[in-house]
A = this chain, B = another copy of it.
Amino acid sequence: MKAKVIVMPKRSILDPQGVAVRDAMRHHGLPGAQSARVGKMIELEVGGATEAQLHEIARDLLSNPVVEDYELVIEK
């Protein structure tokens, strides 16, 4: 089974890395840069796992639920 886990900082939380990217874009000729958010993309290949198990991995291992949200996309 292939799956992707996308982990992004929660919208309500300041993302300093995103602010740095936005400012760098403004300095690189894109004054219209409004916002940037930087998160993680994890691609998994795993056999014999249930969707519930993958949610558990995404929540407990791959993200920090205090400051991040995750999205699990199962591909096949």
Min CB–CB distance A61 → chain B (angstroms): 6
Q: Is the CB of A42 within 8 A of B28?
A: no
Q: Is the CB of A40 within 8 A of B42?
A: no
Q: Is the CB of A45 within 8 A of B49?
A: no
For A57, give its contact among B6, B25, B48 (CB under 8 Å): B25
Contacts known (A39-B41, A40-B41, A41-B41); A21 close to B53, Cβ less than 8 A: no
Q: Is the CB of B21 within 8 A of A48?
A: no
Residues of B near A12 (CB, < 8 A) are: none
Min CB–CB distance A12 → chain B (angstroms): 15
Residues of B near A32 (CB, < 8 A) are: 46-49
